[in-house]
Copies of this chain bind each other. A is one copy, B any other.
Amino acid sequence: MNHDSNKTQAKKLTGADIAKHNSRDSCWVIVHGRAYDVTEFLPEHPGGSKIILKYAGKDATEEFDPIHPPDTLDKYLDKSKHLGEVDMNTVEKEEKEADPEEEERQKRIANMPILEQCYNLMDFEAVAKQVMKKTAWAYYSSGADDEITMRENHSAFHKIWFRPRILVDVENIDTSTTMLGTKVSMPYYVTATALGKLGHPEGEVILTRGAHKHNIIQMIPTLASCSFDEIMDAAQAPQVQWLQLYVNKDRAVTQRIVQHAEARGCKGLFITVDAPQLGRREKDMRSKFDDVGSNVQSSSGDSVDRSQGAARAISSFIDPSLSWKDIPWFLSITKMPIVLKGVQCVEDVLRAVDLGVHGVVLSNHGGRQLDTAPSGIEILAEVMPVLRSRGLEHKIEVYIDGGVRRATDIIKALCLGAKGVGIGRPFLYAMSAYGLAGVDRAMSLLRDEMEMGMRLVGAARIEDLNPSLVDARGLANHSVPVPGDTLGLNVYDPLVGPKLKSVKERSML
């Protein structure tokens, strides 16, 4: 894509040219070797002006990259503000001051466990927590408010217990199934997650390659670090991809995105319906604050700080007025099957069936939106009996996401009636820690767990999974123990076992 305004640029700009514009009054920044005048854009920047001013007169590429797709500046900054190429040899290399935290991180990276030491999906998260940049970790790992729903998402699976069948011939296990008509090797897909380059310099295309290798569908996020086309281009036929869509206030933009995706071969349109506004993720906000926080105390609490973390910075275009009456329009502009992502109660599933959409994802957005919203697996247990009682269970494909970490979680979801499950963060963590090899191993481990799980539950094929194999009676039970009587608990003198005489006991940790 050419920048017309720069066509006739006779001479490259120099670092010194840029450096003069280093204030709120005139603010130039360099991104990928080109200069931009963002002075007027400062107040509009969804992430706040502070973070830009930090780079006023300087090269902002490193900060810019992970959270803006490559075409952002073309799209959002008027061409008149594109100042042209910069002779990067004239730009002073910033002497990065020694950052003890970053040095510690580099040490940790040098001492990373080798990939074979990851035996399950949690292990990648454990490594990522050690080696990712703190702000990137905060963005990926944060949830809404008290992160109760985020944690409930996984722990809900522990309320479901198996009722395994024995003496079933499970020599040959077939984990393949179909989703929206596509045959896949395992009943999960890589769900959409934003800002892949925070975790890995190549971003979402790493997930594309991993998904291809394992014959898994990838859902492409609206808020990807890579552009949509880069991700599509990374696919290898006959690999299938879906599009996750945040609906823009400007429906023309949305229509363009949808129809472009269909033209490029996307096989499913997942409209996010649980995010009329992106959630408050305090871990992310706090981490952002640490990064750009002012050291002057504001004199009033009046204006809620706009440095609200990566999440809210990138989402201002989302249309909070999106409603059921928009659905027919979506059905009219594309032939792709349409799936509502983020449905959270049975009433809305029934309404979706009525409107003729092709699927729903029961989801709370990875616990990143409304805290104490129920887990997808809990909603599933509420939805399926109602669908079955009305004979609607084949009218719509029901997916869930959130908290899936073990193949047994997938099996439980399928027993309860899900067509498949979405998995997001675990692959991000695997990618952040080990790149493609990490994603590959994560998927291999899941396959290995899945075969074992199906053998042990006594089901050779996906269609053998059914509600009689699980006891989910406790799923809707949200218990909060009575707060302990601290005084009483403190005076209790706990039992201890026999002790070694004089040497240090082994701590297994």
Asked whether A218 is an interface residue with its Cβ less than 8 Å from the other chain, the reply is no
A500–B151 Cα distance when bound, in Å, is: 25
A323 part of interface (Cβ distance < 8 Å): yes
Answer whether A280 and B452 are a contact pair too, CB < 8 Å, given A479-B481, A490-B496, A497-B490. Answer: yes
Q: Answer whether residue A302 sits at the interface, using C-beta atoms and an 8 A cutoff.
A: yes
With A167-B324, A344-B166, A486-B146 in contact, is A159–B125 under 8 Å at CB?
A: no
Contact B478 A474 (CB under 8 A): yes
Residue numbers in B under 8 Å from A503 (CB-CB): 104, 107-108, 110-111
Residues of B within 8 A of A389 (CB): none
Closest-by-CB residue of B relative to A500 is: B111
A384 located at the interface, meaning its Cβ lies under 8 Å from any Cβ of chain B in the complex: no
Q: Does A85 contact B (CB under 8 A)?
A: no
Docked-complex contact A491 and B122, CB < 8 angstroms? yes
Check: A387 CB closer than 8 A to any chain B CB.
no
Closest chain B CB from A423 CB (angstroms): 14
A420 to chain B, nearest CB (A): 20
User: Given A152-B482, A159-B480, are A487 and B372 also a contact pair (CB < 8 Å)?
Assistant: no
**A12 part of interface (Cβ distance < 8 Å):** no
CB-based contact A480/B155 at 8 Å: yes
Question: Assuming the A-B contacts A116-B294, A480-B158, A503-B111, are A164 and B493 also in contact, with contact meaning beta carbons closer than 8 angstroms in the complex?
Answer: no
Asked whether B371 lies within 8 Å of A406 as measured between CB atoms, the reply is: yes
Contact with B along A269-287 (1 / 0, CB 8 A): 0000111110110110110
Contacts of A405 in B (CB 8 A): 488
C-alpha spacing A474/B104, complex, angstroms: 46
What secondary structure prevails in chain A residues at the interface with B?
loop
In the complex, which residues 215-273 of chain A have their Cβ closer than 8 Å to any Cβ of chain B? 273
* Cβ contact within 8 Å between B130 and A505: yes
Question: In the bound complex, how far is the Cα of B343 from the Cα of A168, in angstroms?
Answer: 12
A120 on the B face (CB < 8 A):
yes
Task: Please state if A488 and B122 are interface contacts (CB–CB under 8 Å).
Answer: yes
Docked complex: A419-456 residues within 8 A CB-CB of B: 434, 437-445, 448-449, 451-453, 455-456
Assuming the contacts A298-B115, A304-B444, A499-B113, asked whether A479 and B479 have C-beta atoms less than 8 A apart, the reply is yes
CA distance A158 to B362 in the complex (A): 21
- Residue among A283, A439, A493 with most chain B CB within 10 A: A493
| Interface hits, A138-175 → B, CB 8 Å | 141, 145-148, 151-152, 154-171
Asked if A502 and B340 sit within 8 Å, CB to CB, the answer is no
Q: A162 — nearest CB in chain B belongs to which residue?
A: B373
Q: Taking the complex as formed, is A137 at the interface, i.e. its CB lies under 8 A from any CB of chain B?
A: yes
Using a CB-CB cutoff of 8 Å, which residues 86-136 of chain A contact chain B?
104-105, 107-108, 110-120, 122-123, 125-127, 129-130
The chain B residue sitting closest to A474, CB to CB, is B478
A2 within 8 A of B: no
- Once the chains bind, are B438 and A301 in contact (CB under 8 Å)? yes
- Those 6 A-B pairs whose CB atoms lie nearest each other, nearest first: A301-B441, A113-B498, A126-B497, A151-B483, A370-B456, A301-B440
Residues of A within 8 A of B (CB): 104-105, 107-108, 110-120, 122-123, 125-127, 129-130, 137, 141, 145-148, 151-152, 154-171, 273-277, 279-280, 282-283, 285-286, 289, 293-305, 319-324, 326-327, 340, 342-345, 347-348, 369-374, 405-406, 408, 434, 437-445, 448-449, 451-453, 455-457, 468, 471, 473-474, 476-483, 485-488, 490-506, 508-509
Some 17 contacts from A to B, beta carbons below 8 A apart, are: A108-B505, A114-B294, A117-B286, A119-B280, A120-B282, A146-B488, A161-B372, A162-B373, A167-B327, A169-B320, A171-B319, A277-B456, A282-B495, A283-B493, A301-B437, A471-B476, A481-B481
